[in-house]
Amino acid sequence: AARRYPLDTALVAINPADRLRLSFIAEFLPVAAGKGMGVIAMKVLAWGLLLRDPVRLTPAEAIGYALSQQVSTAIIGCSTPEEVEQNVAAASRYRPLPPGQLSQLEERIRPLARQYSTFKREASGRKQVDAVAAASSGRDLHFLQHVSELEESPRLSSNCRG
């Protein structure tokens, strides 16, 4: 969608599992950067799964990983006031992680990467790159949702799919 529409921002799933399966980091972030789009990271903690056994990342590691990508900000879900405090502390101490540490985090979760990215669905063709969870330019969100529904329609002729 970012290649075809004038979007201001995109909401994308970014966590250490990303590079291991349907990577937004590799496929989408360079496009967004080239167009000057704001990128909002979501699913940073993979619904809290990254904080549990067997991987057990710290909030600082997961948040640091996401913020060390080409993103503008991150949205992090919390279930308790304690989680809010942990996440604020992690974000306030944030420093970009070096490439080696990013790779180490990816390797730690490699055996369970699919489990931490179940919200991503397999797609074919350009839709894999366009599989942005949500995108908005303030005025085009409804239009893009409608276009997405049309693109999934088998009745849409192939020359209209781009």
Please spell the DSSP secondary structure of 67-93, one letter per residue. HTSS-SEE----SSHHHHHHHHHHHHT
Q: Measured between alpha carbons, how far is 105 from 63 in angstroms, rounded to an integer?
A: 11
pTM across the whole model = 0.72
Q: How confident is the model at residue 53 (pLDDT cuts 50, 70, 90)?
A: confident
pLDDT, mean of residues 104-121: 80
Q: Measured between alpha carbons, how far is 24 from 29 in angstroms, rounded to an integer?
A: 6
For the stretch 140-151, pLDDT in tens is 343 344 444 444
- Pairing, β 38-42 against β 73-74: parallel
Which helix (H) or strand (E) covers residue 7, if one does?
A: none
pLDDT at 122: 67
Beta strands (DSSP E) in the chain are 9-13, 38-42, 73-74, 134-136
Question: Which tokens belong to 58?
Answer: 């710290």
CB-CB contact of 89 with 54 (8 Å): no
User: Would the pLDDT of 67 be above 70?
Assistant: yes
CB-CB contact of 48 with 80 (8 Å): no
Place of tokens 């995109």: 10
Helix axes 81-92, 59-67, angle to 10 degrees: 50
